[in-house]
């Protein structure tokens, strides 16, 4: 590493000294402190570092009599675990003991180093990618070679600058966690609403309804509600691609090149806003709903409500994308693995329950609102994750 490379692209004001560069073995020491069987057992995770085994959410069989041979871990220590090639080194906030198969290390001079600084760097994509040459084992059993890691060079600033960097990255982590929790709660809440605002099998009314709606839901065969349309000969319309989560989108917005022969597009099927498309992976993503007018593959089936004014396509979009609906159609799929699709003929023979269009609209407004909130937190999550990744690239040497 050259002298010019010993300072990062972005620094906090007041810090100008070049970063020091030393071998990892000069900065860290391996510790092997055993004989503490009364301490809580810690488990290594890829994203959360070391956590209490009882909080891992899964049963791990163990022989307590062996725990006298487990290694002690202190707050601020790092653990090289069996999947360390994927998740960096697991940082610990807790005192406990861990598997004797793992390696525990800590800073030789704790007052000269911020373990939070090193935690962020050891978890970074750049660090993990750089250690790809010092792993051993195969597939999920790979781990980082501690001996080879100790021979690598690490660059770092004075502890005051380390602390400033880690405070910013900790703050971003807190924001990311906050939005992740909000996102997760909204996804669970929407799933619950879908289960409670649509009737269960064999019932004529849902568990939860908006005030003012009391009539039982109508039940009719899908073939009485929807019609298959095969309108071709519109090659000047934009081509639409089917996705699992976004419905039908413009092919040019799909982010991937799809080879096609424009002369064949006269045979593509026309899709109108509010239509549904049964695509090749419809068993995973329900039916793809379209907000746009365009044309799509002749291999797909396009259908729409026979009486559009009596049906909200947004209502059906939410139901067709629900886990309950998709699971219920598992018996009407054909093909194998990723090539499976829903059989349109069999779907048209299934029975669908639905309320008057006014209640459909009320339900879809709520679910649309939840979708907007979910998308908002998802975008904030992605933005914060990208900001953190960029800072890790620019604030470290």
The per-residue pLDDT for range 325-376, each reduced to its tens digit, is 877 766 555 554 444 567 888 889 989 999 999 999 999 999 999 999 999 9
Chain centroid offset of residue 288 CA: 21
* Residue 4, both tokens: 């010019």
Query: Where do the DSSP E strands lie in 234-382?
Result: 240-242, 248-250, 269-271, 276-278, 288-289, 294-296, 301-305, 333-334, 341-342, 351-354
- Segment (H or E) for 28: strand 28-31
Looking at residues 70-98, what average pLDDT do you find?
Answer: 88
Mapped onto helix, strand or coil, the DSSP state of residue 360 is helix
Residues 6+ apart with CB under 8 A from 320: 276, 286, 287, 289
**Residue 377 — very low, low, confident or very high, per pLDDT cuts 50/70/90?**
very high
Torsion of CA 213, 219, 224, 228, to 10 degrees: 80
CA distance 63 to 220: 59
CA distance 91 to 115: 8
> Is the per-residue pLDDT at 139 higher than 60?
no
Give which of 286, 291, 303 is closest to 225, Cα–Cα.
303
CA distance 48 to 215: 50
Angle at 142 between CA 136 and CA 144, to 5 degrees: 60
The 10 Å Cβ neighbour count of residue 25 is 17
- Segment (H or E) for 326: helix 323-328
Residues 6+ apart with CB under 8 A from 302: 228, 229, 230, 231, 269, 270, 271, 275, 276, 277, 278, 296
Mapped onto helix, strand or coil, the DSSP state of residue 106 is strand
**Residue 138 — very low, low, confident or very high, per pLDDT cuts 50/70/90?**
very low
**Residue 146 — very low, low, confident or very high, per pLDDT cuts 50/70/90?**
confident
pLDDT at site 2:
38
Lowest mean pLDDT among 85-99, 218-232, 334-348, 377-391: 334-348
Give which of 303, 247, 307, 222 is closest to 270, Cα–Cα.
303
Q: What is the pLDDT of residues 204-233, one digit of tens each?
A: 899 999 999 999 999 999 999 999 999 999
Who wins on pLDDT, 212 or 65?
212
* pLDDT above 70 as % of the chain: 85
**Residue 136 — very low, low, confident or very high, per pLDDT cuts 50/70/90?**
low
Give which of 264, 268, 262, 265 is closest to 232, Cα–Cα.
268
Rounded to two decimals, the pTM is: 0.80
Looking at residues 86-95, what average pLDDT do you find?
Answer: 87
> Do 283 and 330 form a contact (C-beta atoms < 8 A)?
yes
């Amino acid at each position: 590493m050259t002298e010019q490379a010993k300072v990062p692209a972005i620094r906090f004001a007041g810090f100008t000294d070049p970063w020091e560069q030393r071998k990892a073995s000069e900065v860290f020491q391996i510790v092997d402190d055993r004989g503490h069987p009364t301490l809580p057992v810690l488990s290594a995770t890829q994203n959360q570092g070391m956590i209490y085994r009882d909080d891992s959410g899964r049963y791990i069989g163990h022989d307590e009599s062996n725990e006298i041979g487990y290694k002690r871990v202190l707050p601020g220590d790092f653990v090289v675990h069996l999947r360390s090639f994927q998740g960096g080194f697991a940082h610990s906030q807790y005192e406990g003991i861990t598997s004797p198969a793992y390696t525990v290390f800590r800073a030789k001079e704790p007052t000269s180093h911020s373990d939070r600084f090193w935690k962020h760097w050891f978890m970074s994509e750049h660090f993990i990618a750089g250690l790809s040459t010092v792993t051993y084992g195969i597939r999920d059993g790979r781990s980082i070679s501690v001996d080879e890691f100790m021979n690598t060079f690490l660059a770092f600033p004075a502890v005051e600058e380390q602390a400033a960097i880690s405070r910013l990255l900790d703050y971003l982590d807190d924001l990311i966690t906050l939005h992740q929790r909000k996102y997760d709660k909204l996804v669970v809440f929407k799933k619950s609403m879908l289960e409670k605002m649509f009737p269960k099998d064999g019932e004529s009314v849902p568990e939860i309804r908006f005030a003012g709606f009391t009539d039982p839901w109508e039940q009719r065969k899908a073939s009485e509600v929807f019609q298959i349309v095969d309108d071709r000969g519109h090659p000047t319309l934009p081509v639409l691609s089917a996705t699992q989560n976004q419905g039908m989108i413009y092919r040019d917005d799909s982010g991937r090149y799809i080879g096609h022969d424009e002369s064949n597009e006269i045979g593509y099927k026309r899709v109108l806003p509010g239509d549904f498309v049964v695509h090749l992976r419809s068993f995973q993503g329900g039916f793809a709903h379209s907000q746009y007018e365009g044309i799509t593959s002749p291999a797909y089936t396009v259908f729409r409500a026979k009486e559009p004014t009596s049906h909200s396509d947004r209502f059906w979009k939410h139901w067709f994308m629900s886990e309950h609906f998709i699971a219920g159609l598992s018996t009407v799929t054909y093909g194998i693995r990723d090539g499976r699709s829903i059989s349109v003929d069999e779907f048209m023979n299934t029975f669908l329950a639905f309320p008057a269009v006014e209640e459909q609209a009320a339900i879809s407004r709520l679910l649309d609102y939840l979708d907007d909130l979910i998308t908002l937190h998802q975008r904030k999550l992605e933005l914060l994750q990208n900001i953190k990744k960029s800072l890790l690239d620019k604030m470290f040497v």
